[in-house]
Structure 1
Amino acid sequence: MAAIREPWGLSVLGAGSVSAEPSLAFVDLAVDLLAPTPKVAFAEAGAAVARLRETLREHGIPDADVSGSRLRLTSQYSGYGAERTFLGYTCEAKYTVRTEALDRLELLIEDAVTAGANRVDDVRFEVRDKPAMRDEARARAVEAARRKAEVYAEACGIDLGTVIHIEDVNPESVGGHGRSAGRADHEHDGTLSPGSVRVDAAVLLGFALLPAS
């Protein structure tokens, strides 16, 4: 029969979440071209990058909202061993574009692809003040933990004392994996979707217990 070796009070886990409509989006684009020589690869990719930058400016996106990388050149082959065949040189440049014009996002992506961004790696939706959402989710997690503790204390015929332990918990571990799945200072970004941005939080609270008054 299981026994509590070191009884000290009541420990409860609480979870909370906050959702909000997205206010901006991040689009990961890439210019990825194959050419027979490095010179041609650099020239074609450079021209595509210039067209892409100009298209983004036409959409009102300043250069400061476009983070990118330098042109990267790699050799490309097909097959293995004796069947390996040289295909040419791939020149790649990746960009992340930030935009608040969500109503024109589809047109932005279409124009970027037309301009030369022949790869769309990801589209992520965000909110402007995510730290505030995370704080609210943590406050809701504390409220949920306290409500749970009050139910346990009332059912046991005792009073709930002060909080004597607070532990930040990885919210991903709350969904059935248990505390062993991970905890501590984990800044979880939540679930992102075109419809909403969700931020989760979880907390483990320890309460002292008092005799019923």
Structure 2
Amino acid sequence: MAFIFVIIQLVSVIGSFFLGVEVEIETIEEYSFIFIMLLLLYLIISPWRSYSGIEKIASIEQEKLYLITRFLILVNVICFVILLTIVIIVQTLVENVNEFKYVAGVNHTFIENNLPFPRIFFSFAIVFSNFAYFLLPLHFYYLHKNKNRLAIICLILSLNIILLGLTYFSRAVVVQYLFLYVALLYAFYGTISKNSKRVMKKTFFVMGGILLIYFIDISIKISIR
């Protein structure tokens, strides 16, 4: 998996070269920044060398785990309702996607004027939707335990990661989420039973199809403006 991440970074750099992106590195601060970025990439990618061939997940104290799971589900259900409401408003009422995305202040003003609830609810969802990242490994843990209902709930609520991006027509968040899911799938695939794999594949293909349609739709809207 670490090799795949390295390839992704190389493709990104090579793609930037062919697109004509010019990068000037002249000062010590700029060289230091490059060094720090390379170090961070190494620290992020290197541990993935150890995550392969996993067949069993260590036992976790069930009472504490269920308490954490209930807390994460409760917080993310609230965030899900708030973000989904805003996404529906944004996706149906915004006419000029480019202006909404790239002109300073436009999206802030639009959301401020069209929210059906106080702005603080959106601020709450922005902050606490980050807990959705914890639901993805829990999704795979409950698949491992053949608790498909909890696994699907965790998967659906982990979509808060994407919903937050949809409030400003982000396409990158879709790619980010899919890469994150595939990376975790690669790490934990050996721990999942055949029955759970069937459930997971069907769910993933449905979600993947919906996200692909969204990605294409936003790309078309941006290109024709």
More strand by share: 1
Which of 1 and 2 has greater Rg?
A: 1
TM-score (norm 1): 0.20
TM-score (norm 2): 0.19
Q: Relative contact order: is structure 1 or structure 2 higher (C-alpha 8 Å, sep ≥ 6)?
A: 1
More helix by share: 2
